[in-house]
Amino acid sequence: MSRRRHSDENDGGQPHKRRRTSEPIEIEDRLESLICRVGEKSTSSLESNLEGLAGVLEADLPNYKNKILRILCAVARLLPEKLTVYTTLVGLLNARNYNFGGEFVEAMIRQLKETLKNNLYNEAVYLVRFLSDLVNCHVIAAPSMVAMFENFVSVTQEEDVPQVRSDWFVYVVLSCLPWVGKELYEKKDVEMDRLLSQIEGYLKRRVKTHVPMLQVWTAEKPHPQEEYLDCLWAQIQKLKKDRWQERHILRPYIAFDSVLCEALQHNLPPFTPPGHMPDAQYPMPRVIFRMFDYTDAPEGPVMPGSHSVERFVIEENLHCIIKTHWKERKTCAAQLLSYPGKNKIPLNYHIVEVIFGELFQLPSPPHIDVMYTTLLIELCKLQPGSLPQVLAQATEMLYMRLDTMNTTCIDRLINWFSHHLSNFQFRWSWDDWSDCLTVDLEKPKPKFVKEVLEKSMRLSYHQRIVDIVPPTFSALIPAEPIFIYKYDESASSLPGYAVTITVGNAIKNRASNEEILTILKEVPNPNQEDDDDEGESFNPLKIDVFLQTLLHLAAKSFSHSFSALGKFHEILKTLTDSDEGKLHILKVVYEVWRNHPQMISVLVDKMIRTQVVDCAAVANWLFSQDMAHEFTRLFIWEILHSTIRKMNKHVQKIQKELEEAKDKLEKQQHKRRDSGDDEEMDKNSEDEEGQLEEQIERLQEKVESAQSEQKNLFLVIFQRFIMLLTEHLVRCETGSVDISTPWYKNCIERLQQIFLMHHVTIQQYMGTLENLLFTAELDHHILAVYQQFCALQL
Amino acid sequence: MSAKLNALNSDSYTDVSQYRDQHFKGNRYEQEKLLKQSNTLYVGNLSFYTTEEQVHELFSKSGDVKRIIIGLDKVKKTACGFCFVEYYTRADAEHAMRFINGTRLDDRIIRTDWDAGFKEGRQYGRGKSGGQVRDEYRQDYDPARGGYGKLAQQHRPTETRNSF
């Protein structure tokens, strides 16, 4: 048995690039590699590596100056966690070649303008921070940096701009101060004091309506969930009080001080912040996630306090490492664990906190959820003696605070924990959580355990779950995911029973759709006294009989059920022609598979994709009275959000087709203009254009229709929420009962979740929402959610 | 401006592996092209008892799954430890390669690899006994994959053939 290896063959596949050593591409790669990997895997010190590299680059400047400029600008933007390494390098180059230093600064300014123009605000922060650290390396003169900061802060004086705009400029200035505050204060303390006082004034008058919507916990204890600017301000205040003494940041340039202080400095050109543009997308506000403090790390180095600047720097750097390496989990884990200065901090705690902070971030995590699960597993592999314990401690803490945790975050915790456990044979000290058995099962703790067990079962099987939990937990074990067939042998007296037998046989004998429809005509319609001749009107019993039988025969697996839905698609379309039909089919699917929520989800997904039901029908079904008892279960919301996402993707797809058709038409028109006076070509071109124009018209209609359906879906969902919540609030008020039941907390946070998870789409319909639904007459509890959402964009 | 650095662009988990399907109908170039565009993953080292539902739950974590085809023993028509997972988009499949490949399903480390696309017939094992080739020749005992390898089973004494 031979497995021919790919690289041994040369039979017409991709030609293997054979490069000669002097080719420009190879030199560029070499330079990139040298610069990106400076200091890595070396027995020499970082300083001596930098010295060596500076020498190499200086020698290469005559021939490769532009390449070197490009690479250095890129690392400034893309490797912020190694900021001071590269500012030192630039400092050394500037000391050896003043002109190069000047050109670098100019290139950075150009790059800064570009990033701002392209709405890359997070990267722009790194560029400004780089420039500010260049002050420490004697590349940029302190007064000119202060001048740039003054220009930034003056944005707070602008009127009629979104708050998130001025927020960003203030954030940039504050976030540079850990690196350069000391130097700037030494040179320009009066100006800096004025700057800080302006910032303080701005922060006092900022509106913070958005904060509750972004907090992971509603409780202030044990760690307040602070708004990000408030936290940073407190950290800078403390730094100032400590006379700008900052000891955490690695500063290689200190070792080169004698060389660098001989260098001539450049002045930053005056930089006017670009004006506000209507299509600007400033970063959304954030809440700083904290779950640990110095009391949580039992031995070893002490965790820096929540308002220490060290905490800010550590968290920034860890976030940057994840941002750089998230696609490569082994590298990411290794880079996190080799954080410089790790011996002075409880690094494992910081890493776990930062990772959970991202996983729980609202509206959504920076990266796909499953990345964090796999990254944590990778970290456990690399530090088997310490990290798993920290993770267990963290899980325990998160469990203990479930009562005040945001529902969306609890969802993510459920998914993370069950997936994590499935990689470790589901080993967990469940007995430690037996307190959850003593309270109402709708409370957050038992609910959490229940959902975790359900998800764990999906990744394994029912008996496994029975085996892994203590017998006391039996009330929380999910039901065995088996089909519930209404028309079994004991049900022979039920109306329609006889037809289930006939239909079942017909299906097994591969009868045609027409034959089956004929059989189904025999099903009496409980909604009518007499059948009309066609039997075409909505007949719930007919749907019940057919679908129960079909799904029963196909219950063996997902594939069997999908195949069944596909084979009898025509019949299903006929039966669900009306809105009531669509609602009823969903009802039947639920009834037969109510012990197998996973099956319900995939069947609903398939039925939407094959247009047996539409999205609005699914929404109406989930909010119907029949489903009220399941309303707080996770699978309901997974179905709803999946439905909304399908709707959104559908709209995007048709919009894309429309854009492509328009582009094609434009190209065609250009061709005709350029083709000259060839009559025949002209005529063909005209025909093609005519066809394209028709196509565009059709697509335009399709887009409008899809957008209308999308808007309607959101209206239905919001209307239903408002009805349910209002009912509850009124009932509580008249009964003088506290509104804060577990059901209410779930419902109001689910409403928040709709806004947060689909904010991009919902933005388009704000006008309608405000005029029709979220009006001033609404109960203030409900209106508050809407107002907090609006505040996110201001 | 959005100059990317090759040195930082590593995404090795989504690279194509060395394996090439020897039954692929087409030339090497076509195969490479399909692999680079594919939305379908081969998943290997599954337990024979792993269900479509379990595969769906795990692989849905990286995106919406379009379909799953469980690999079958050609003779017995029962699961023989591999499957294909097809996504609606390439991006979702890439996330699976980055974050699901090399993690556990049913307590086993599973392996994912790009596949040129499912074609009828490819759901069957290609080993002589009907299962996967790897199960023909392996020497170890794996209770989740039929015990000993097929060749090794032939050499075993009659311990499995006692019938009382």
Locate the domains of chain B by residue range: 26-125
**pLDDT for position A775:** 94
Tokens of A375: 């990254």
* Average of per-residue pLDDT across A138-142: 97
The three state secondary structure string of A287-335 is ECCCCCCCCCCCCCCCCCCCCCHHHHHHHHHHHHHHHHHCCCHHHHHHH
CATH architecture assignment, domain B26-125 = 2-Layer Sandwich (3.30)
Tens of pLDDT, residue by residue over A525-573, are 887 655 555 556 789 999 999 999 999 999 999 999 999 999 999 999 9
Cα(B108)–Cα(B96) distance, integer angstroms: 16
Torsion of CA A68, A71, A73, A74, to 10 degrees: 180
* Cβ of residue A6 closer than 8 Å to a chain B Cβ: yes
- Provide the greatest CA pair distance for chain A: 102
Cα(A514)–Cα(A571) distance, integer angstroms: 9
Whether the per-residue pLDDT at A483 is higher than 70: the answer is yes
Closest in A324, A329, A459 to B54, CB measured: A459
The count of C-alpha atoms lying within 13 angstroms of the C-alpha of A602, restricted to the half-sphere facing its C-beta, is 26
Q: Which of B103, B133, B137 to mutate to test the interface with A (most CBs of A within 10 A)?
A: B103
Tens of pLDDT, residue by residue over A274-332, are 999 988 999 999 999 999 999 998 888 999 999 999 999 999 999 999 999 999 999 99
Cα(A434)–Cα(A607) distance, integer angstroms: 40
* Average of per-residue pLDDT across A218-226: 90
Angle, helix A121-136 to helix A83-96, in steps of 10 degrees? 50
Q: Which residue has the higher pLDDT, B162 or A85?
A: A85
Tens of pLDDT, residue by residue over A726-781, are 999 999 999 999 999 999 999 999 999 999 999 989 988 999 999 999 999 999 99
Tens of pLDDT, residue by residue over A121-136, are 999 999 999 999 999 9
Which residue in A has a C-alpha nearest to residue B64's C-alpha?
A642
| Residue A465 Cα distances to A15, A81, B11, B58, angstroms | 53, 43, 36, 17
Closest in B52, B107, B137 to A558, CB measured: B52
Does B1 sit within 8 Å of A598, measured CB to CB?
A: no
- Average pLDDT over chain A reads 92
* DSSP structural state of residue B54: H
Phi, psi (rounded to 5 degrees) for B42: -85, 140
Phi, psi (rounded to 5 degrees) for B86: -110, 130
Cα(A612)–Cα(A609) distance, integer angstroms: 8
DSSP states along A482-531: ----TTSGGGTTSTTHHHHHHHHHHHHTT--HHHHHHHHTTS--TT-SS-
Closest in A1, A371, A422 to B133, CB measured: A1
Straight-line distance from the first to the last Cα atom of chain B, in angstroms, rounded to the nearest whole number? 78
List, run by run, the mean pLDDT of 10-residue segments along chain B (164 residues): 71 94 93 96 97 98 98 96 98 98 98 96 95 94 94 69 44
pLDDT band at A680 (very low <50, low <70, confident <90, very high): confident
Report chain B residues whose CB lies below 8 A from the CB of A460.
Answer: 54, 106
* Cβ of residue B120 closer than 8 Å to a chain A Cβ: no
**pLDDT for position A347:** 97
**pLDDT for position B8:** 79
Tally Cβ neighbours within 10 Å of residue A675.
Answer: 12
Phi, psi (rounded to 5 degrees) for B83: -160, 170
Report chain B residues whose CB lies below 8 A from the CB of A29.
Answer: 6-7
Whether the per-residue pLDDT at A408 is higher than 80: the answer is yes
- Provide the greatest CA pair distance for chain B: 78
Q: Are B54 and B110 in contact (CB under 8 A)?
A: no
DSSP helix/strand/coil, B85? strand
In one-letter notation, the amino acid at residue B23 is H
* Average of per-residue pLDDT across A415-430: 97
Q: Which domains does chain A have, with CATH numbers?
A: 25-261 (1.25.40.180), 306-476 (1.25.40.180), 642-672+685-791 (1.25.40.180)
Tally Cβ neighbours within 10 Å of residue A688.
Answer: 16
Q: Which residue has the higher pLDDT, A619 or A489?
A: A619
Handedness of CA A220, A226, A232, A237 (dihedral sign): negative
Tokens of A269: 């050109």
Tokens of A641: 């959000």
Report chain B residues whose CB lies below 8 A from the CB of A425.
Answer: 107
Cα(A238)–Cα(A177) distance, integer angstroms: 12
pLDDT band at A671 (very low <50, low <70, confident <90, very high): confident
CA-based nearest residue to A228, from A296, A306, A155, A159:
A306
Q: Are A722 and A673 in contact (CB under 8 A)?
A: no
Whether the per-residue pLDDT at A15 is higher than 70: the answer is no
Which residue in B has a C-alpha nearest to residue A424's C-alpha?
B107
* Average of per-residue pLDDT across A126-149: 97
In one-letter notation, the amino acid at residue A762 is I
Cα(A124)–Cα(A122) distance, integer angstroms: 5
Q: Which residues of A432-466 are buried (b: 16+ CB within 10 A; e: fewer)?
A: ebeebbeeeeeebbbbbbbbbbbbbbbbbbeebbb
**pLDDT for position A26:** 82
pLDDT more than 70, % of chain A? 95
What residue has token string 């039992």? A298
**pLDDT for position A240:** 96
Cα(A346)–Cα(A351) distance, integer angstroms: 9
CA distance B53 to chain A (A): 7
| Residue B137 Cα distances to A110, A674, A676, B71, B141, angstroms | 62, 67, 70, 18, 12
Q: Are A310 and A248 in contact (CB under 8 A)?
A: yes
In one-letter notation, the amino acid at residue B31 is Q
Report chain B residues whose CB lies below 8 A from the CB of A415.
Answer: 61
Segment among A49-53, A103-107, A380-384, A672-676 with least mean pLDDT? A672-676
Torsion of CA B93, B97, B101, B106, to 10 degrees: -10
| Residue A359 Cα distances to A190, A410, A412, B157, angstroms | 42, 11, 7, 54
In one-letter notation, the amino acid at residue A468 is I
* Cβ of residue B123 closer than 8 Å to a chain A Cβ: no
The three state secondary structure string of chain B is CCCCCHHHCCCHHHCCCCCCCCCCCCCHHHHHHHHHHCCEEEEECCCCCCCHHHHHHHHHHHCCEEEEEEEECCCCCCEEEEEEEEECCHHHHHHHHHHCCCCEECCEECEEEEECCCCCCCCECCCCCCCCCHHHHCCCEEHHHCEECHHHHHHCCHHHHCCC
Q: Are A616 and A716 in contact (CB under 8 A)?
A: yes
Tens of pLDDT, residue by residue over A354-407, are 999 999 999 999 999 999 999 999 999 999 999 999 999 999 999 999 999 999
Cα(A634)–Cα(A361) distance, integer angstroms: 19
CA-based nearest residue to A633, from A672, A598, A582:
A598
pLDDT band at A14 (very low <50, low <70, confident <90, very high): very low
pLDDT band at A697 (very low <50, low <70, confident <90, very high): very high
Tokens of A298: 């039992």
**pLDDT for position B156:** 67
DSSP states along A447-462: HHHHHHHHHHHHHS-H
Tokens of A542: 């007919």
Say whether the peptide bond before residue A481 is cis (omega within 30 degrees of 0). Answer: no
**In chain B, residues 145-164 whose CB comes closer than 8 Å to chain A:** none
**pLDDT for position A605:** 98
Cα(A107)–Cα(A337) distance, integer angstroms: 33
Tens of pLDDT, residue by residue over A627-661, are 999 999 999 999 999 999 999 999 999 999 999 99
Tens of pLDDT, residue by residue over A515-531, are 999 999 888 888 765 55
* Average of per-residue pLDDT across A325-353: 95
Sheet strands side by side (includes B79-87):
B65-72, B79-87, B40-44, B111-115
Whether the per-residue pLDDT at A11 is higher than 60: the answer is no
Residue positions counted in chain A = 794
Query: In angstroms, what is the C-alpha Rg of chain A?
Result: 32
What residue has token string 């997972």? B85
Cα(A622)–Cα(A244) distance, integer angstroms: 57
pLDDT band at A491 (very low <50, low <70, confident <90, very high): confident
Tokens of A633: 């279960």
**In chain B, residues 11-40 whose CB comes closer than 8 Å to chain A:** 11-14, 18-20, 22, 27-29, 32
Read off the pTM.
Answer: 0.93
Q: Which of A132-136, A488-492, A495-499 has the highest mean pLDDT?
A: A132-136
Q: Are B31 and B37 in contact (CB under 8 A)?
A: no
Whether the per-residue pLDDT at A21 is higher than 80: the answer is no
* DSSP structural state of residue A266: B
* DSSP structural state of residue B74: T
